[in-house]
């Protein structure tokens, strides 16, 4: 028992322990929290944010940051909806082409994001923040400020059709999570992300093309942003400039609270899953017990501060590096 209760193990398992504690707390405060229906509601709300968070996880593992997700999601959502409707508006026609097209748009957005960062030697937070504004502006130009409604029953079945009381989109999100885990753990590029995050100079010295790795990371992130856009549109049936609203705060909060270190090399997609669940359990639980939204934001802010503090302390003591 004493071997498990080490500082390193406590820090490693802290996010999962926090998630369990939150579930127990909200269940004690309101027994309805534990219902299958409420858990389905939590996972449904978490699905778009999980996709965005998986994308940013790869970027943060490399020691970079990406603040473009709201613009990327807006562009992908609007391009998807526009193309979808122009090709018939139902999935059993040529409109299905809009699905892979959205993923391609996401990867191109990520490619440009990465190239601006590495070619122009602009810090990633500034390059990506600027690209986010470009994405918002581009989506506004395409829509003229209007909403694009996607009402195809087949596409909306991602939300409306349920298996074991959970919407189909939850299961597709689970598949995407497994793909992200495979990329992280079973591919060379996934290992290279950790190598870059663990020390860029050492990665350079070992012959790794760091700039290429970073650009590929931004492209992969862009694909997951596009998946988040598709799930967001399926969830509300609308594509607009505001589709990605507030996803930057939620996704980065989820990744950090889940235990992925901001300077890179530590963490992964399973940490992100726990972080996304923590954020959404807090949001749902506080609604269930009747607390206002500003209290939710305050609690999340405190969690971020604690998570960053613990991560910083872990780095300075070199437990993992």
189 phi/psi in degrees, rounded to 5: -65, -35
* pLDDT for the residue numbered 200: 83
Is 105 part of any domain? yes
**pLDDT tier for residue 211 given thresholds of 50, 70 and 90:** very high
Q: Which helix or strand (DSSP H or E) is residue 167 part of?
A: strand 166-167
Q: What is the DSSP letter of 265?
A: S
Quick one: tokens of 147? 């909403």
The pair of structure tokens assigned to 302 is 């405190």
Examine residue 196 and state whether it is found in any structural domain, yes or no: yes
In a domain, 189, yes or no: yes
Condensed to tens digits (0 to 9), the pLDDT of residues 50-74 reads 999 999 999 999 999 999 999 999 9
Whether residue 125 is predicted with pLDDT greater than 80 in this model: the reply is yes
Residue 1 has pLDDT above 70, yes or no: no
Which pLDDT does position 4 carry in this prediction?
A: 54
Predicted local confidence at residue 114, as pLDDT: 96
- Give the model's pLDDT for residue 317: 41
Longest Cα–Cα distance in the chain = 63
Give the span between the Cα atoms of 235 and 199, in whole angstroms. 40
* Assigned domain for 2 exists: no
Task: Report the C-alpha gap between 314 and 10 in whole angstroms.
Answer: 11
> CB neighbours (10 Å) of residue 244?
29
Cross-strand pairs, 162: 167
202 vs 100, residue with greater confidence: 100
Residue 137: domain span: 36-244
Instruction: Write the pLDDT tens digit of every residue in 36-56.
Output: 999 999 999 999 999 999 999
pTM for this entry: 0.92
pLDDT reading at 199 higher than 90: no
Phi, psi angle pair for 162, to nearest 5°: -125, 145
In a domain, 141, yes or no: yes
d(CA 150, CA 81): 7
CB 135 within 8 A of CB 113: no
pLDDT at 181 (0 to 100): 98
The enclosing H or E element of 238 equals strand 238-239
Residue 301 has phi, psi (to 5 degrees) of -60, -45
In a domain, 306, yes or no: no
Mean pLDDT of 63-86: 96
Q: What stretch of H or E contains 163?
A: strand 162-163
Is 154 strand, coil or helix? helix
Average pLDDT over residues 110-115: 97
Angle at 173 between CA 167 and CA 176, to 5 degrees: 155
| Residues 6+ away with beta carbon under 8 Å from 165 | 36, 37, 40
Q: How many domains does the chain have?
A: 1
Is pLDDT of 35 > 50? yes
Q: What's the pLDDT band for 198 if we cut at 50, 70, 90?
A: confident
Q: Which positions ≥6 away from 208 have C-beta within 8 Å?
A: 192, 195, 196
- Residue 270 covered by a domain: no
Question: Which of the four pLDDT bands, split at 50, 70 and 90, describes residue 319?
Answer: very low
Rounded distance, CA 147 to CA 243, Å?
10
Is 62 within a domain?
yes
Confidence (pLDDT) at 310: 65
Q: At what angle do helices 98-119 and 69-86 cross, to 10 degrees?
A: 150
The helix (H) or strand (E) run that includes residue 166 is: strand 166-167
The yes-or-no verdict on residue 297 having pLDDT over 80 is no
Q: By the 8 A CB rule, do 50 and 272 touch?
A: yes
Number of helices (H), then strands (E), in the chain: 13, 4
DSSP H helices, 30-123, are 36-61, 69-86, 98-119
Task: Report the chain's mean pLDDT, rounded to a whole number.
Answer: 89
């Amino acid at each position: 028992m004493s071997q498990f209760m080490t500082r390193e193990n406590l820090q490693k398992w802290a996010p999962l322990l926090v998630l369990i504690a939150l579930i127990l707390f909200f269940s004690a405060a309101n027994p309805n929290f534990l219902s299958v229906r409420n858990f389905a509601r939590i996972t449904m709300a978490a699905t778009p944010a999980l996709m965005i968070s998986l994308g940013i996880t790869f970027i943060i593992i490399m020691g970079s940051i990406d603040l473009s997700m709201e613009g990327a999601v807006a562009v992908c959502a609007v391009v998807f909806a526009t193309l979808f409707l122009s090709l018939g508006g139902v999935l059993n026609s040529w409109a299905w082409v809009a699905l892979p097209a959205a993923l391609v748009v996401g990867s191109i957005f990520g490619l440009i994001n990465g190239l601006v960062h590495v070619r122009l030697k602009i810090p990633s937070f500034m390059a990506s923040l600027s690209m986010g504004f470009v994405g918002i502006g581009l989506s506004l130009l395409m829509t003229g400020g209007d909403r694009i409604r996607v009402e195809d029953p087949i596409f909306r079945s991602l939300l409306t059709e349920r298996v074991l009381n959970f919407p189909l989109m939850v299961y597709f999100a689970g598949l995407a999570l497994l793909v992200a885990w495979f990329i992280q753990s079973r591919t060379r590029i996934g290992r290279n992300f950790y190598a870059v995050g663990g020390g860029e100079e050492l990665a350079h010295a070992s012959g790794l093309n760091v700039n290429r790795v970073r650009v590929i990371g931004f492209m992969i992130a862009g694909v997951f942003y596009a998946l988040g856009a598709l799930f967001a549109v399926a969830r509300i049936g609308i594509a607009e400039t505001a589709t990605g609203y507030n996803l930057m705060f939620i996704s980065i909060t989820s990744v950090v609270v889940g235990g992925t270190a901001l300077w890179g090399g530590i963490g992964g997609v399973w940490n992100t899953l726990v972080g996304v669940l923590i954020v959404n359990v807090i949001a749902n639980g506080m609604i269930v017990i009747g607390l206002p939204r500003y209290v939710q934001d305050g609690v999340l802010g405190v969690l971020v501060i604690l998570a960053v503090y613990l991560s910083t302390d872990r780095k300075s003591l070199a437990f993992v590096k």
